[in-house]
Amino acid sequence: MPLQPSTTRHLDHVLATAQRAGRLPSVVAGIVRDGALVWSGAAGTLDGRAGGEPADDDTQYRMGSITKTFVAVCVLRLRDAGRLDLTDRFEQHVPGSPLGRASIEQLLTHAAGAQAETPGPWWERTPGGDWDALTAAPVGQRFREGRRFHYSNVGYGALGRLLEVHHGTGWAEVVRAELLEPLGMTRTTTRPSGRAAQGLAVHPFADVLLPEPEHDGGAMAPAGQLWTTLHDLARWAGFLAGDTAGLLNADTLAEMCEPHHVVDEPGQPWTGAHGLGWQVWNVDGARFAGHGGSMPGFLAGLRVRLEGGDGVVTMTNTTSATVLRSLTEDLLGVLDAEAPHPVPPWSAAGDASLLDLVGTWHWGPSTTTARLVDEHLVLGEPGQARGSRFARVGPDAWVGLDGYNAGEPLLVVRRSDGTVSHLDLASFRFTRTPYDPDADVPGGVDPAGWS
């Protein structure tokens, strides 16, 4: 559904304000809803000077570390094809490197303990060598594998090499063939092509500019090499929101967006974590996924609200700025306030054959309630204590979807006459009365009963 003109004017104003307040030479932004780009805007000029060439939605910017999400998706495609397991040691697929003991999952989640940067010159501003040169530098580990989150660009250089070994071609060719071409992302490339912004640094104390270098990162390129346009990056946001065009199983995408390792800063409450290639944030109870990106001369951001799929993409050609995060929040705030999702009307669509499962149940002396919500059986309140939703997987068989009982079996046990005796949730008995002596309560029930 298109946005109202008043809403687009408000979004344009928010973007223009951020460009000026953040002293951004140029900035482009877009909002994705239902997999489509519903608003886009641009402010500033490519050289940051009055009268210069204006930015637009077909201008290439460097996406930086958002590149890692493409590499991660290709790795998960290998997993889904049965060619590797996430618990495999890196050494099993790419022998002879100092990172060999780390698992593929640990590399994906930045928990391999691998060093953050290369031992040599600042890799983001100097041309990179090949994989052999990188491992001979040498690269190593700062922490024991699996101990903690430690962001590692080197780790994603290793994952790029993993793709090359499995496919017999360069990592960028794998990404192009498996993702970019099928998704129609024709303006995403490893080097600037066609209309592209110059990377710039803005002086911290004066309104003057310095061009930043551009180069091929070599073996480090999988950590941040790709260039893209607003339209292409919006398509990738739609992918994250669920429109994968059949390139990735929905369950795999959900697995990638689960928080695997908390991004923990001492003395600060944590709000972020890292999944399998995607960053995850918890903002006032709402779960977001995406990734940020920075390279000398460029900043980029992609963030999607997992419930509902609304997302924002931003790119600018400056080395340092603090305004992009607030810009993302402000754009989403306008969208939520002025163009909320339509609320579908309620209608009776329940399954009357399941009514014998709803109502009050007891686990020992505690009391809980079972309800039918859409196609799920809900026991308790999800998100509180052990409350969970359950999906039906067979006659009288259900499986937990979230919380403490995620993945756990719930069986409906019936009497010989077909009536429900009790619920068996991973060996815990839920009965219609506390400690029902006729419900096969483990350990038995004192024959004297309650007194």
pLDDT (mean) for 83-89: 98
Where residue 30 falls among pLDDT bands split at 50, 70, 90? very high
Across the strands, what pairs with 394? 397
CATH topology of domain 18-51+59-202+221-338: Beta-lactamase (3.40.710)
Q: Is residue 94 scored above 80 in pLDDT?
A: yes
pLDDT tens track for 268-301: 777 899 999 999 999 888 999 999 999 999 999 9
Where residue 87 falls among pLDDT bands split at 50, 70, 90? very high
pLDDT (mean) for 199-212: 97
Q: How far is CA 369 from the centre of its chain?
A: 33
pLDDT tens track for 302-316: 999 999 999 999 999
- The proportion of the chain whose per-residue pLDDT surpasses 70, expressed as a percent, equals 100
pLDDT of residue 362: 96
Burial class, 167, CB count within 10 angstroms (exposed 0-12 / middle 13-18 / buried 19+): middle
Average pLDDT, the chain: 95
Q: Kindly report the length of the chain.
A: 451
pLDDT tens track for 125-166: 888 889 999 998 888 889 999 899 999 999 999 999 999 999
Q: Is residue 1 scored above 90 in pLDDT?
A: no
pLDDT of residue 119: 87
pLDDT tens track for 324-336: 989 999 999 999 9
pLDDT of residue 264: 77
pLDDT of residue 187: 98
pLDDT tens track for 329-381: 999 999 999 999 999 999 998 999 999 999 999 999 999 999 999 999 999 99
Domain layout of the chain by residue ranges: 18-51+59-202+221-338, 352-431
Where residue 123 falls among pLDDT bands split at 50, 70, 90? confident
